[in-house]
Structure 1
Amino acid sequence: MNLGGQIVGVFLVLAALIGGGAAIGHASRNGEVADLVAQVEKLDAEKSAETLRANGEVATLRTLKETLRSERERRNRIGLLAQEELATRADRIAGLKLKAEQLQQRIKTEASNDENCNALRRLPVCAAIADRLWGDSTAPRPD
């Protein structure tokens, strides 16, 4: 064999090896790319599912916040109405108490000015009745 043929043969073998390696490498790289594309598609699907779930949770959270806000406002209105009612009742009770005191004082005054009632002051009377008629029954009575 001649030297030129051997060199061409070596080049052909080297070219075949390099071409075969490149083909194997290219096929291997295509397999990796296909695996990575599949992973990306899987992750995109998971991301879409999580985005939908998160959007649903955001909507639920907004609904809950709105419900809580309206409930807080309702309770505040109820509290204000209760305070107004208590103030009205307190005023009415104070007015009734004043009228009762005035009526009691008027009855005591009329009893003191009435001659028949003055005669009763000299009689022994149960302490509870005397207290209702003339006030403190332990206080000295005018004769």
Structure 2
Amino acid sequence: MNPAGQVLGILLVLGGLFGAGYWAGHSADAEAHKEQVDALQTKVNSANTIAGAERDRADGNATALLSLRATLATERQRRTDQQRAADIELGARDARIKELTRAARAREEETRTKAMADEDCTVLRTLPVCSALAERLWGDAWTDQAKPAGPD
């Protein structure tokens, strides 16, 4: 053989031995790390399971919160509508009370005016009458006439 072929053969043998050694070392190293990789994979799977459970719980909480907010908004709107209706009703009631009070005063004044103008009622003004009846007939005017004259 020629020397170049021998050198090439030696290089091929050395390369093969080096490659086989590298492969054998890498395989042994991979076996040594396989246990660590398996342990880490178990931890990752456990963490993924916990994360999934927490995600599901968070989704449930978010759904419950949205439902609660919607319920509160509905209740707030219902109470606002009730208050608005009560305000309208009270406003109408106040207006009706004022109208009835005004009508009662006008009727009372009309009755007094008619009583003052009617000659038949003149006799009643001079008769002694209990205070409740006098107040009903003449209002506060009878108390002004019944007070004795003197310093106030």
**Which TM class, normalised by the smaller chain length?**
0.7 to 0.9
TM-score when normalising by structure 2: 0.73
1: CA distance, partners of 2:72 / 2:139? 57
> Where do residues 75-90 of structure 1 align in structure 2 (5 Å cutoff)?
75-90=79-94
2: CA distance, partners of 1:111 / 1:118? 8
Pairs aligned (count): 121
> Where do residues 88-107 of structure 1 align in structure 2 (5 Å cutoff)?
88-107=92-111
Query: What CA RMSD, in Å, does the superposition of the two structures yield over aligned residues?
Result: 1.8
Tell me which residue corresponds to 1:63: 67
- The one-letter amino acid of 1:131's match is E
Tell me which residue corresponds to 1:15: none
2: CA distance, partners of 1:128 / 1:43? 91
- Displacement after TM superposition at 1:26 (Å): 4.8
**1:60-113 alpha-carbon deviations (Å, 9 max, x no partner):** 111110111111111111111110011011111110000000010011111111
**1:35-75 alpha-carbon deviations (Å, 9 max, x no partner):** 11100011001101111111111111111101111111111
TM-score when normalising by structure 1: 0.78
Q: Percent identity?
A: 37
2: CA distance, partners of 1:87 / 1:26? 88
The reply on whether 1:51 has 2:52 as its aligned counterpart is no
Note the residue ranges of structure 2 that are not aligned, 5 or more in a row: 1-23, 147-152
Note the residue ranges of structure 1 that are not aligned, 5 or more in a row: 1-18
2: CA distance, partners of 1:97 / 1:28? 103
